[in-house]
Amino acid sequence: MKIHVITVLPELLESPFGHSILKRAQQKGLVDVQVHNLRDYSNDKHKSVDDYAFGGGAGMVMMMEPIVNCLERLQEKEPFEEVIYMTPDGETFNQSMANSLSLKGNIAVLCGHYKGVDERIRQHFVTREISIGDYVLSGGELAAAVVCDAIIRLIPGVLNDETSALTDSFQDNLLAPPVYTRPAEFRGMKVPDILLSGNTPAVEKWRFEQALMRTRTRRPDLFARSGFDTE
Environment class of 42 (CB within 10 Å of its CB; exposed 0-12, middle 13-18, buried 19+): buried
Give the DSSP H or E segment for 110.
strand 106-111
Domain that holds residue 132: 2-152
Residues 128 and 197 in one domain: no
Mean pLDDT, residues 10-23 taken together: 96
pTM for the structure as a whole: 0.89
Beta carbons of 25 and 158 less than 8 angstroms apart? yes
Do residues 182 and 133 both lie within one domain?
no
Residues listed for the chain: 231
CATH of the domain at 175: 1.10.1270.20
Q: Which of 115, 105, 112, 143 is nearest to 126 (CA)?
A: 112
Encode pLDDT of 28-61 as tens digits.
999 999 999 999 999 999 999 999 999 999 999 9
Residue 163 pLDDT: 53
At 89-143, the pLDDT tens digits run: 999 999 999 999 999 999 999 999 999 999 999 999 999 999 999 999 999 999 9
Backbone angles phi, psi at 54, to 5 degrees: -60, 140
Q: Are 38 and 7 spatial neighbours (Cβ–Cβ below 8 Å)?
A: yes
Kindly state whether residues 104 and 176 are assigned to the same domain: no
